[in-house]
Amino acid sequence: VKRKLVRQVAQQTRTIETDCLEQWIEQYRGESSKGKCAAYIPALKEADPTQLGICVIGPDGQISRAGNYDAPFTLQSISKVISFLAACKHHGIANVLEQVDVEPTGDAFDSMVRLEMHKPGRPFNPMINAGAITVSSLLQGNGVQEKFRSFQDMVEGMTGRKHQINEEVYHSEWQTANRNRSLAYYLSATGFLACPVEDALDVYIRQCSLEVTAEDIAKIGLILAHDGYDPVRKEQLFDKEKARVTKALMVTCGMYNASGNFAAFVGVPAKSGVSGGIMAAVPPRGRSGELPFAGGCGIGVYGPAIDQYGNSVAGVALLKHMASAWDLTIY
Ligand code: DON
């Protein structure tokens, strides 16, 4: 009861943050006209491009939400962070990194050029499609169902609720996945897949199709910000070292070939997905107790119109403004 009261009080005194977020959402919603919903997965094209929503969660459970914060969307590449954590939990970081490196590429997320250019073809990092397909093949379990289950368990352990696949998005991607299919066959030929090719691809596409909201990814961001500890439920879900490697990957590769710009003008570990989600992990900032969410926070943003890099246009614009106003940068 006491904890609930503390949370309610925290929420009431935090309406200033919510007011700011509501104002900024309306200010940046129009930015979506500079982008388009992803069309290479046909089902994603159906989203309303003008949607923009945000959810911010602090360590005391305080939540600020604004705009289309409750719109469901599929994880897409944000799933790469979670599958990497799940694979590391099962095999240990060192074993996973024998199969996938931790270097940014400067290429598009679905690029295949470096796989053959750099022998022996170990994918450059777990945030690009090639690396993520390798990671999916490493998930615990035999066969698609078990491997996908271990991914789902990892997500649900962090969000505290059940999630379903968006079947329409799943089938749409499965039918149009020739590029990922070719990456997967190449990885298999070079020895960087730990299970049959079509199984790895299926697990990968399922994890991309899992449906979440901005609040779910904000929760995951908060746990990463606190190095694997869930400050709301007071539970260590994975160890600090895994959280730190993952956040380093998010900083260097999480926003693909726009990661440098994002680091310079937002400055927090983040991961985007082509459905328009962005998950960010803001660590505690000791500079001033006056700052909003000074104890760190997780941020979930949804805005389905994306730019040429695959990142939500309005979402990035909103985060840039927020980072400057609330002094979010880690640098
Ligand atoms: O494999 C794909 O192309 C998608 N399922 C995910 C790509 C993605 O989200 C890249 N993100 N910005």
| ipTM of the complex model | 0.98
Residues designated catalytic:
77, 80, 204, 256, 274
Nearest to 301 by CA among 24, 2, 15, 11: 24
Tell me how far apart the alpha carbons of residues 24 and 40 are, in angstroms, rounded to a whole number.
30
Which residue minimizes the CA distance to atom 1 of ligand 1?
A: 129
Q: Is the peptide bond before 283 cis (omega within 30 degrees of 0)?
A: no
Which of ligand 1's atoms lies nearest the C-alpha of 311?
12
Please give the model's pTM, rounded to 2 decimal places: 0.95
| pLDDT in the model for residue 9 | 52
| pLDDT in the model for residue 286 | 73
Q: Contact, 230 vs 241, CB < 8 A?
A: no
Which of ligand 1's atoms lies nearest the C-alpha of 306?
12
| pLDDT in the model for residue 290 | 82
**Complete DSSP assignment for 43-97:** GGGGS-TT--EEEEE-TTS-EEEEESTT--EE-GGGHHHHHHHHHHHHH-HHHHH
| pLDDT in the model for residue 112 | 86
Cα torsion 228, 229, 232, 233: sign: positive
Residue 188 in tokens: 């298999």
Q: In angstroms, what is the span from residue 20 Cα to ligand 1's centroid?
A: 31
Tell me how far apart the alpha carbons of residues 37 and 22 are, in angstroms, rounded to a whole number.
23
C-beta 277 within 6 A of ligand 1:
no
- The mean pLDDT values, 10 residues at a time, for the chain of 331 residues are 56 74 98 98 97 97 96 98 98 98 91 88 96 98 98 98 98 97 97 98 98 98 98 97 98 95 98 98 82 95 97 98 97 95
Nearest to 313 by CA among 300, 322, 321, 304: 304
